[in-house]
Amino acid sequence: MFAPEHIIDRNNVYIMGSGNKVIMMAHGFGCNQTMWRFLIPELPDDYKLVLFDYVGSGAASMAEYSTSKYSSLEGYAQDIVDICKVLDLQNVSFIGHSVSGTIGLLAARAVPDRINALIMICPSPCFLNIDQGYQGGFEKHDLSELIELMDKNYIGWAEYLAPLVTGITERHPVTNELTESFCTTNPISAKNFAKATFFSDHRTILPENTHPVLLLQSDNDALASLSVGQYMEKNTPNSELQVIKGKGHCLHMTHPQDVALHIKRFLEVKCAGE
Amino acid sequence: MFAPEHIIDRNNVYIMGSGNKVIMMAHGFGCNQTMWRFLIPELPDDYKLVLFDYVGSGAASMAEYSTSKYSSLEGYAQDIVDICKVLDLQNVSFIGHSVSGTIGLLAARAVPDRINALIMICPSPCFLNIDQGYQGGFEKHDLSELIELMDKNYIGWAEYLAPLVTGITERHPVTNELTESFCTTNPISAKNFAKATFFSDHRTILPENTHPVLLLQSDNDALASLSVGQYMEKNTPNSELQVIKGKGHCLHMTHPQDVALHIKRFLEVKCAGE
């Protein structure tokens, strides 16, 4: 068991507010905890917010980076589990962006009594096109080429991917910020996280879910389509899908008020009486 | 005259809210606009917030970086002037952290009719020890060594400077974030900004000030001491000094509520009736 201060330091954990109820927020690939700043002012006041960066991302420590551990999403889920344990968090409402929806599901399986609800913003359990029944949106060779580009031209890769993610092709602060965040993430950890995110298939864990799940999907997202959200709702017990009219894969940055409206309603209903 | 979208893009300008009144927020050396996120939720709701990154910092464009222009604080002030002009900002309450207090004064001289009040968080008009009458806190050779360290060991430099700035020597999210921000700023623009910040002496412009000025100083700041704040109050017409009990040079990140209380009171008094 790690000492609490070790994990707090390792994952650059930042706690805001002092409510009895807890919201934990997990960023996506190539991102960091600062990107929650647009959503945070819209969230209810009576929650304590627990923010963090995955090892290898943001301002978390690279000293403990392990290529093998962080080559699968289970490694990232372990970061969440560690934080929940050392802070002894209970009744956590977990908000995960993109791949952190899946990572949250993995963490909730590991510590089911600590997490009581999962909110997923633009999630996808698998970004690959598998068969007629599941089209994650990407062919494996296309994603392989994208990841190879990280070696050849790291800046070019970031400048290609960021507008695809935000859905904003002209220069815009959110696209600029994502480009900058991609560029300034350690290339080794970024590539490893990219592979874990884009080449994995976690559809099989959806039916095992036992927590209330809110799926917030964009109606126009190049990375996680509406059909992916519909697949998740169909295959995840206790889930509801809400579709937000808005382009892009970063609704928490581009449409924070719309996202917050759904989150507040969901928390009021699902977490009432705690 | 530049096209508006050019400046918006160049300085990664981000506008929040839609109030009639304007607060413009200018980050300090080695920082970027995301560091205002702790203060923003505490500010009054009826203001439009204008955030930006200086060219060479944060997610602003490096394409237009000019070593000569940005070797003096006047170059940074021109970024502010450009943004005020292209957005046609009026009645701007300007908030500047650290060196951006001085940069704000320079901008207010250039466009006095657009700026109506200046709020300076941990400002210093000169970081150098000049004589018995003015002790900025640092000997020139010490600062020269610190800036030379940027060439020799950029990571080591960031890890040395960040805890000095935040006043938090143990690992802490704010110190981690500052270290990361220093490390990920382009070394060329960072070194140039450091020289412009730490080797300049702008004390002579203080008496020329014509705007209401709020000086918020920490009572324990390794970079801008209380005596620097007292010097500024004495030599700046129309200024008031408020001392915040709190360690470090980043009060907007570590003590946002205390900072906001003073700002709100100041704005209510100074900007009433607009």
Helix ranges (H only) for B153-255 are 154-166, 173-184, 187-198, 226-235, 251-254
CB nearest A41 (choices: B12, B40, B171): B40
Helix (H, G, I), strand (E, B) or coil at B27: coil
Q: Which of residues 43-82 of A touch B (CB under 8 A)?
A: 58-60
User: What pLDDT does residue B273 have?
Assistant: 52
Domain spans in chain A, listed from the N-terminal domain onward = 4-270
Q: Would an 8 Å CB–CB cutoff place B236 in contact with chain A?
A: no
Question: Which of B6, B8, B10, B34 to substitute to test the interface with A, most A CBs within 10 Å?
Answer: B34
**The dihedral of CA B160, B161, B164, B167: what is its sign?**
negative
User: What pLDDT does residue A18 have?
Assistant: 85
Superfamily for domain range A4-270: Alpha/Beta hydrolase fold, catalytic domain (3.40.50.1820)
User: What pLDDT does residue A266 have?
Assistant: 97
Beta bridge partners of A94: A24, A118
Nearest by Cα to A31 from A222, A197, A270, A169? A197
Which chain A residues are closer than 8 Å to B180 by Cβ?
58-59, 184
Instruction: Round to whole Å and give the CA distance between B122 and B224.
Output: 6
Q: How far is CA A150 from CA A159, A186, A194, A274, in A?
A: 11, 11, 10, 46
Phi, psi (5° rounding) for residue A51?
A: -110, 150
Instruction: Round to whole Å and give the CA distance between A178 and B57.
Output: 15
User: What pLDDT does residue B2 have?
Assistant: 66
CA angle B131, B31, B158 (to 5 degrees): 75
Residue B45: Cβ-neighbour burial (10 angstroms; 0-12, 13-18, 19+): exposed
Query: Which chain B residue is nearest to residue A42, measuring alpha carbons?
Result: B41
Say if the Cβ atoms of A12 and B58 lie within 8 Å: no
Do the strands A134-135 and A129-131 form a parallel or antiparallel pair, or are they unpaired?
antiparallel
On whether the CB atoms of residues B40 and B49 are closer than 8 A, the answer is yes
Say if the Cβ atoms of A34 and B177 lie within 8 Å: yes
Instruction: Round to whole Å and give the CA distance between B93 and B78.
Output: 17
Whether A53 is a known active-site residue: answer no
Q: Give the number of A-B residue pairs with CB atoms closer than 8 Å.
A: 40
Helix (H, G, I), strand (E, B) or coil at A215: strand
Q: Would an 8 Å CB–CB cutoff place B9 in contact with chain A?
A: yes
Per-residue pLDDT 10s for chain B (274 aa) are 567 788 999 999 999 988 889 999 999 999 999 999 999 989 998 999 999 999 999 999 888 999 999 999 999 999 999 999 999 999 999 999 999 999 999 999 999 999 999 999 999 999 999 999 999 999 999 999 999 999 888 888 898 999 999 999 877 889 989 998 998 888 899 999 999 999 999 999 999 999 999 999 999 999 999 999 999 999 999 999 999 999 999 999 999 999 999 999 999 988 765 5
Instruction: With cut-offs at 50, 70 and 90, classify the pLDDT of residue A71.
Output: very high
User: What pLDDT does residue A1 have?
Assistant: 57
Average pLDDT of the residues in A207-221: 97
Q: What are the strands of the beta sheet with B47-51, ordered from one edge?
A: B14-16, B47-51, B21-26, B92-97, B115-121, B213-220, B239-247
User: What pLDDT does residue B229 have?
Assistant: 97
User: What pLDDT does residue A33 have?
Assistant: 96
Query: Which chain B residue is nearest to residue A40, measuring alpha carbons?
Result: B41
Q: How far is CA B35 from CA B52, B178, B185, in A?
A: 11, 9, 14
Q: Would an 8 Å CB–CB cutoff place A155 in contact with chain B?
A: no
Query: Which chain A residue is nearest to residue B172, measuring alpha carbons?
Result: A9
Task: Tell me what percent of the residues of chain A surpass a pLDDT of 70.
Answer: 98
Q: Tell me what the pLDDT averaged over chain A comes to.
A: 93
Catalytically active residues of B, by annotation: 98, 221, 249
For the record, the structure tokens of A155 come out as 């800046």
Helix (H, G, I), strand (E, B) or coil at B149: helix
Instruction: With cut-offs at 50, 70 and 90, classify the pLDDT of residue A229.
Output: very high
Radius of gyration of chain B measured on its C-alpha atoms: 17
Instruction: Round to whole Å and give the CA distance between B133 and B227.
Output: 10
For the record, the structure tokens of B225 come out as 């001491």
Instruction: With cut-offs at 50, 70 and 90, classify the pLDDT of residue A273.
Output: low
User: Long-range contacts made by residues B153-156, C-beta under 8 angstroms, separation at least 24?
Assistant: B154/B183, B154/B187, B155/B183
Instruction: Round to whole Å and give the CA distance between B217 and B24.
Output: 19
CA-based nearest distance A107→chain B, Å: 23
Residue A174: Cβ-neighbour burial (10 angstroms; 0-12, 13-18, 19+): buried
CATH architecture group of domain B4-126+202-270: 3-Layer(aba) Sandwich (3.40)
For the cut 70, the answer to whether the pLDDT of residue A110 exceeds it is: yes
Instruction: With cut-offs at 50, 70 and 90, classify the pLDDT of residue A20.
Output: confident
